[in-house]
């Protein structure tokens, strides 16, 4: 592993803003670009939303961010993953490594520091090839097509829905 994951904190704001600004073009076609969005994200952390920053172990640089959103416990134990990778780390495989750590944390038992989810989904616009490649690389199954699912960049956008359940995940062995 070349990365680690951790919760964001207020001291990350400058590093976060810089990484998002630097990556605006890379992110912007698919997700909102909000360099100053970390304080709001920190405010919204709770039972329904957990954010993880993915950090490069060697340099401490910010590789990416993953939100585990729409978390519902009870009989569903489900969450939706939303993510961005940042330059200069995009396309180096580090985001994939970080996402594996996030998924592992999502499925792990709360007694072991996990969230205790049973199912994760990833919703991707049909022509977002890099995100679809990432979902498939992580082992997500294509479940279906959801028309007009999310309001992004001024319109309701169709999404392809991918999912993974805990039974399909081999827990990572801690190093």
Ligand X SMILES: CC(C)(COP(=O)(O)OP(=O)(O)OC[C@H]1O[C@@H](n2cnc3c(N)ncnc32)[C@H](O)[C@@H]1OP(=O)(O)O)[C@@H](O)C(=O)NCCC(=O)NCCS
| Near ligand X in 3-62, by CB under 6 A | 26-27, 30-31
Q: How far is the CB of 109 from ligand X (least distance, A)?
A: 27
Gap between the Cα atoms of 171 and 175, Å rounded:
12
Does the footprint of ligand X cover residue 84 (CB under 6 A)? yes
CA 141 to chain centroid, in Å, comes to 17
Does the footprint of ligand X cover residue 131 (CB under 6 A)? yes
Q: How far is the CB of 173 from ligand X (least distance, A)?
A: 19
- Decide: helix, strand or coil at residue 7: coil
What's the order of all strands across the beta sheet hosting 155-165? 3-6, 50-56, 62-72, 78-85, 119-124, 155-165, 141-152
Q: How far is the CB of 62 from ligand X (least distance, A)?
A: 12
- Decide: helix, strand or coil at residue 82: strand
Gap between the Cα atoms of 132 and 140, Å rounded:
9
Half-sphere exposure of residue 130: CA atoms within 13 angstroms, side-chain side: 14
Considering only 16, 52, 83, 140, the residue that binds ligand X (CB under 6 A) is 83
Does the footprint of ligand X cover residue 124 (CB under 6 A)? yes
Region from 33-41, 108-116, 129-137, 146-154 binding ligand X, contact rule CB under 6 A: 129-137
**The token pair that represents 127 in the structure block:** 């022509």
Nearer to ligand X, 118 or 130 (CB): 130
Does the footprint of ligand X cover residue 133 (CB under 6 A)? yes
For ligand X (CB under 6 A), the number of binding residues is: 20
Nearer to ligand X, 86 or 107 (CB): 86
Residues at the interface with ligand X (CB under 6 A)? 26-27, 30-31, 83-85, 90-96, 124, 128, 130-131, 133-134
């Amino acid at each position: 592993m070349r990365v680690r994951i951790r919760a964001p904190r207020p001291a990350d704001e400058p590093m976060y803003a810089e990484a998002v600004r630097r990556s605006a073009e890379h992110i912007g076609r698919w997700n909102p670009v909000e360099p100053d969005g970390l304080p709001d994200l920190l405010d919204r952390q709770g039972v329904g939303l957990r954010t993880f920053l993915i950090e490069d172990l060697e340099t401490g640089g910010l590789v990416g961010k993953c939100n585990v959103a729409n978390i519902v416990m009870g009989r569903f134990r489900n969450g939706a993953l939303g993510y961005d990778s940042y330059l200069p780390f995009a396309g180096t495989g580090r985001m994939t490594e970080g996402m594996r750590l996030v998924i592992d944390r999502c499925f792990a038992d709360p007694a072991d520091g996990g969230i205790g989810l049973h199912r994760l989904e990833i919703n991707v616009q049909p022509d977002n090839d890099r995100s679809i490649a990432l979902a498939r690389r992580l082992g997500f199954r294509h479940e279906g097509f959801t028309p007009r699912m999310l309001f992004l960049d001024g319109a309701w956008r169709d999404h392809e829905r991918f999912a993974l359940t805990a039974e399909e995940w081999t827990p990572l062995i801690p190093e």
